[in-house]
A and B are shown apart, each in its own frame.
Chain A
Amino acid sequence: MDAQLPALQIVIPLLAAPLCVALRASRAAWLIAVTACWSSLAVAISLLRRVLAEGEAISYHVGGHAPPHGIELRVDALNAFVLVIVTGISAVVVSASRASLSEELPEKRHYLYFAATLLCMTGLLGMTVTGDAFNVFVFLEISSLSAYSLISMGRTRRALTAAYQYLVMGTLGGTFILLGIGLLYMATGSLNMADLAERLCGMESNRTVQAALAFIVLGASIKLALFPLHIWLPNAYAFAPAMVTAFLAATATKVAFYVLVRFLFGVFGTDFAFDAMHLDRVLMPLALLAMFSASTVAIFQRDLRRMLAFSSVAQIGYMVLGLSFASELGLAGGIVHLFNHAVIKSCLFLVMAAIAIGVGSTNIEDLRGIGRRMPLTMAAFVVGGLSLIGVPLTVGFVSKWILVRAALEAGLWPVAAMILASSLLAVVYVWRVVEVAWFQAPAEDAGALRRPPLGLVLSAWVLAAAALVFGVFTDATASVATRAARMLMEAGS
């Protein structure tokens, strides 16, 4: 059984999805999805524990064919960590989703939501767990296609155009990655990542490999919404059903970031990607631009959802910034922020879902005085918001700490100052909401509030609590991230 864990990671949600469709009943589908998600989490955790205990990667040969010709699933400290994040967030969000879903989808279509979520999860977990470059593309498309359909389930017709826009952008991104992988195959004749890494040694001047790097970085950047390729993200997040946003915000872009990290450090290697091709000179300015411009745009949003969506673009900037230092500390910062931002953002989007149910609107204007009327929900928002700003003893501070250290270590003190300055923009957009919700009197004509489902608020609090716990006991996340980063740096140089 233990040996089958990497495969189980993909198989559980993959099998659960058609089961949901077969059963149709909303409650039954929900139960299946919840079971699948939590058992996936259990699998992911046991994988992570095993990897950390054994200290080396777990290799699983699909169908018994040995790599490099057979398909290999390969779990090391890095992707085991990502697996835990993806399954953990999915478990919390899916558990909370039934109550909120009834607001946005007719009950007889709930099973489709659960099936698509499970499929999306399958794709994301597959991308993470696989050691085969072409598999990345296949799983990427599985997750993307289900994500498009999930987004199109939004209540308004704008969800359709948002999904369409995402589909066009996402397909371009996916195809670029496919092309990049093809070029790699042409140059090396291999698709196995570990094998590729070996064969690529000494091919720095090969034009085909250089083109492959360009296409893969471009494709992954579209999928992870790196500024200025992020234009699909705000609409997709704003018009998708709230639970879909909470799920995608914490998982889809994160896995895309993982793919970028994996290719740059695990396949191409730092010598090639950074020392020879100077990718940092492209990625670092873009990351900084993302941090500043998207945060600035977030400040001027009138709708809470769009504000959070733009904030996501900015936060992705932090992750890419960490990567662009091409140092162990910087990479660790990026990976830690991947975890932290997943927790924070899904918490905030769950809160937003609760607000949408309670107030019937996510317009910031309409949130006047709701702090006193739904204190538990808005307190979770404050915790999430403070983490987003990076107040000490929250997870956001951990990322900031490591990233600033990485910048100083690299001698880039202006970058360190910019990291901190941009987090001040987060203060502005978070505090705007806090001020409206807690310190303004409710509007005279404010309608009665509906009580948001307890499960939803509880789930938001689970994540908020995680944001605090991992902000104090940073060892749990930071040490894994550092280990993963060290492994990548050692392998890549």
Chain B
Amino acid sequence: MSVQTAILACVLWPLAGALAVAACGERRRNLREAASLLTATSLFAVVAGVLLPAVSAGGRPRVEVCEVFPGVPLAFELEPLGMVFALLASGLWIVTTLYAIGYMRGHGEEHQTRFFVCFALAIAGALGVAFAANVFTLFVFYEAITLSTYPLVTHHGTPAAQRAGRLYLGILMGTSVAFLLLALIWTYTIAGTTEFTPGGILAGKAGEGTISVLLALFVFGSAKAALMPFHRWLPAAMVAPTPVSALLHAVAVVKAGVFTVMKVVVYVFGIDLVGSSAAGEVLTWVAAATILIGSCVALTKDNLKARLAYSTISQLAYIVLGAVLANELSILGGGMHIVMHAFGKITLFFCAGAILVGAHEGDVSRMRGLGRRMPFTMLAFLIGSLSVIGLPPLGGAWSKWNLALGAADAGQKAILGVLMVSSLLSVAYLMPVVARAFFSEPAGEPAPKGKGEPNGHARGEAPLLCVLPPVLTAAGCVALFFFAGELQALLEGIELR
């Protein structure tokens, strides 16, 4: 299989998987789940086995599907940053599929076929975003992700879910159409192309003011990155089933947003242009504010998923920060944080879902003593938390380290301070969960009302398929600390100039 075919196959393969899942339907659910898993594993095998070596060797294979507008083809091109994102999305898809099977069955959810179909479509969208060779292609798949995840967010069909769905679609579509598309067409008008090119395509083509406006349009247009004030969709989308929150709102959707920001900064503007523009400076502070405010709001949330959602908002802003600081180290840190945060946060979401399935608990204040009942889950939660906080020996340490170095490099001492404070804040909002689970007595806890269980903590762990995935991803967090070198080597292949 040539690399070019493999690229196309990777984008189309999840679609084929979606068809297979749809064909199986509710009646042959075991076959359906097998199809999901098979698609996911084979996809990862191709991404890691065929595409990764090609990129590592310095190749930039490119494939054009068709020319949609003159000079604006629908095209894919591999490069390190996209490779990292594709590996991440396809790899975590396997784990999440396992988890989703356990969760959806354990919870007795309806419309499972639609769920798995949309899931596969969203992954196809994520891979399209990862491999996009130009802003246009990226935009196409960015919108595809929005549309395919909408049914996942409104999965339960309740009025609350529909309201959340409206907010989700409204903010994501609104910003992408009003800002991102405008920026895309504007870029095309100025530069005559939208191809991602090392060193950027806008340098010297427009004045300082235009560049600043464009940068702001791009960054706010990628509302999937949840930069304040366009972050409201993320907590709202937490009404979705937990596997959705896990994969889409810790990995595919939000990372598509920050990935877009990074890609645009590196390959459309070029880091020199961003570093010298006024908007870069302003956006640095917007990102810093989002980091702090997100953390503070997370502190106030008692619902675990809501807390994790605001934590995500805060952590995503790290990556945006890395992008707009625009130097080698900050880009490296941002790129690494995409991976590190994904592993950490998906672990946390998996655990939150496992707690929901195993103990029917969603509120932090009622999780006392859970650690004794669900030791594996809570241990995984601890590891995930530490990685998100950024303590060694966990992967999160490296990305934050590089981001801090990047901030120092840019001469932004205040940003360094923000990073430190925010790490402390994340200790404050994540550690109580663990502390309560392991060190508080479950006794004296009033029984949850209407749950049908006299003592909410009567049963043990959640089903195996709900516990295994967080343990795996937690192990991943540890592994990433020791194998960060490979990731760094890959990311250093990004041609910044």
**Which residues of A pack against B, CB within 8 Å?**
386, 390-393, 398, 400-401, 404-405, 408-409, 413, 416-417, 420-421, 423-424, 427-428, 431, 435, 438-441, 472-475, 478
Indicate whether B485 reaches chain A with its CB closer than 8 angstroms. no
Do the beta carbons of A404 and B154 come within 8 Å of each other? no
A423 contact set on B, CB distance < 8 A? 177
Partner of A435, one of B74, B165, B181, B189: B165
Indicate whether B293 reaches chain A with its CB closer than 8 angstroms. no
Docked complex Cα distance between A31 and B165 (Å): 47
Chain B 58-79 interface mask (CB, 8 Å, partner A; 1/0): 0000000011110000100000
Do the beta carbons of B140 and A473 come within 8 Å of each other? no
Do the beta carbons of A424 and B178 come within 8 Å of each other? yes
A409 contact set on B, CB distance < 8 A? 189
Do the beta carbons of B181 and A427 come within 8 Å of each other? no
Contacts A393-B140, A408-B185, A472-B68; is A424 near B165 (CB within 8 Å)? Answer: no
Indicate whether B188 reaches chain A with its CB closer than 8 angstroms. yes
Between-chain CB contacts (< 8 Å), 30 pairs: A390-B177, A391-B147, A392-B136, A393-B68, A393-B140, A401-B185, A404-B185, A405-B188, A408-B185, A408-B186, A421-B178, A427-B173, A427-B174, A428-B170, A431-B166, A431-B169, A435-B162, A435-B165, A438-B151, A439-B151, A439-B154, A439-B157, A439-B162, A441-B157, A472-B66, A472-B74, A473-B66, A474-B69, A475-B67, A478-B69
B188 to chain A, nearest CB (A): 7
Chain B 65-102 interface mask (CB, 8 Å, partner A; 1/0): 01111000010000000000000000000000000000
A422 to chain B, nearest CB (A): 10
Chain B 138-170 interface mask (CB, 8 Å, partner A; 1/0): 011001000100010010010000100110011
Docked complex Cα distance between A440 and B159 (Å): 9
Do the beta carbons of A417 and B68 come within 8 Å of each other? no
A450 to chain B, nearest CB (A): 25
Docked complex Cα distance between A263 and B400 (Å): 65
B31 contact set on A, CB distance < 8 A? none
A401 contact set on B, CB distance < 8 A? 69, 185
B490 to chain A, nearest CB (A): 30
Docked complex Cα distance between A175 and B86 (Å): 63
B174 contact set on A, CB distance < 8 A? 424, 427
B140 contact set on A, CB distance < 8 A? 392-393
Chain B residue nearest to A392 in the complex (CB): B140
Do the beta carbons of A392 and B66 come within 8 Å of each other? no
- Segment 170-190 of B: residues with Cβ below 8 Å from A: 170, 173-174, 177-178, 181-182, 185-186, 188-189
Contacts A431-B169, A441-B157; is A392 near B143 (CB within 8 Å)? Answer: yes
How many chain-B residues does the 8 Å CB contact rule pick out? 28
Docked complex Cα distance between A395 and B364 (Å): 49
A327 to chain B, nearest CB (A): 13
Do the beta carbons of B66 and A405 come within 8 Å of each other? no
B167 to chain A, nearest CB (A): 12
Partner of A439, one of B67, B165, B185, B189: B165
Query: Chain A contact residues: over half helix, strand or loop, or mixed?
Result: helix
A483 to chain B, nearest CB (A): 13
Of B69, B139, B154, most buried by chain A (CB within 10 Å of CB) is: B69
Chain A residue nearest to B68 in the complex (CB): A474
The 4 closest A-B pairs by CB, nearest first: A392-B140, A404-B185, A408-B189, A420-B178
Chain B residue nearest to A402 in the complex (CB): B69
Do the beta carbons of A417 and B178 come within 8 Å of each other? yes
B74 contact set on A, CB distance < 8 A? 472
Contacts A421-B178, A424-B174; is A416 near B185 (CB within 8 Å)? Answer: yes
Partner of B169, one of A386, A413, A427: A427
A441 to chain B, nearest CB (A): 7
B69 contact set on A, CB distance < 8 A? 398, 401, 474, 478
Do the beta carbons of B189 and A392 come within 8 Å of each other? no
Do the beta carbons of A424 and B162 come within 8 Å of each other? no
Docked complex Cα distance between A409 and B186 (Å): 9
Partner of B177, one of A405, A424, A478: A424
Docked complex Cα distance between A7 and B157 (Å): 57
Chain A residue nearest to B179 in the complex (CB): A420
Do the beta carbons of A392 and B162 come within 8 Å of each other? no
B162 contact set on A, CB distance < 8 A? 435, 439-440
Partner of A424, one of B68, B143, B173: B173
Contacts A431-B169, A435-B162, A474-B69; is A416 near B188 (CB within 8 Å)? Answer: no
B50 to chain A, nearest CB (A): 26
Chain B residue nearest to A474 in the complex (CB): B68
A472 contact set on B, CB distance < 8 A? 66, 68, 74
Partner of B182, one of A391, A420, A439, A441: A420
B170 to chain A, nearest CB (A): 8
Partner of A420, one of B151, B154, B177: B177
Chain B residue nearest to A391 in the complex (CB): B143
Docked complex Cα distance between A427 and B66 (Å): 27
Chain B 116-149 interface mask (CB, 8 Å, partner A; 1/0): 0000000000000000000010011001000100
B471 to chain A, nearest CB (A): 35
A420 contact set on B, CB distance < 8 A? 177-178, 181-182
Contacts A423-B177, A427-B174; is A417 near B157 (CB within 8 Å)? Answer: no
Docked complex Cα distance between A435 and B74 (Å): 30
B151 contact set on A, CB distance < 8 A? 438-439
B165 contact set on A, CB distance < 8 A? 435, 439
A344 to chain B, nearest CB (A): 17
A400 to chain B, nearest CB (A): 8
Do the beta carbons of B68 and A405 come within 8 Å of each other? no
Contacts A431-B169, A472-B66, A478-B69; is A405 near B185 (CB within 8 Å)? Answer: yes
Docked complex Cα distance between A475 and B166 (Å): 35
A318 to chain B, nearest CB (A): 14
A400 contact set on B, CB distance < 8 A? 181
Docked complex Cα distance between A473 and B68 (Å): 6
Docked complex Cα distance between A420 and B67 (Å): 23
Chain A residue nearest to B65 in the complex (CB): A472
A408 to chain B, nearest CB (A): 5
B186 contact set on A, CB distance < 8 A? 408, 413, 416
Chain B residue nearest to A440 in the complex (CB): B157
A404 contact set on B, CB distance < 8 A? 181-182, 185
B178 contact set on A, CB distance < 8 A? 417, 420-421, 424
Chain A residue nearest to B157 in the complex (CB): A439
Docked complex Cα distance between A472 and B147 (Å): 18
Chain B residue nearest to A436 in the complex (CB): B162
B139 contact set on A, CB distance < 8 A? 392
B164 to chain A, nearest CB (A): 12
Chain B residue nearest to A479 in the complex (CB): B70
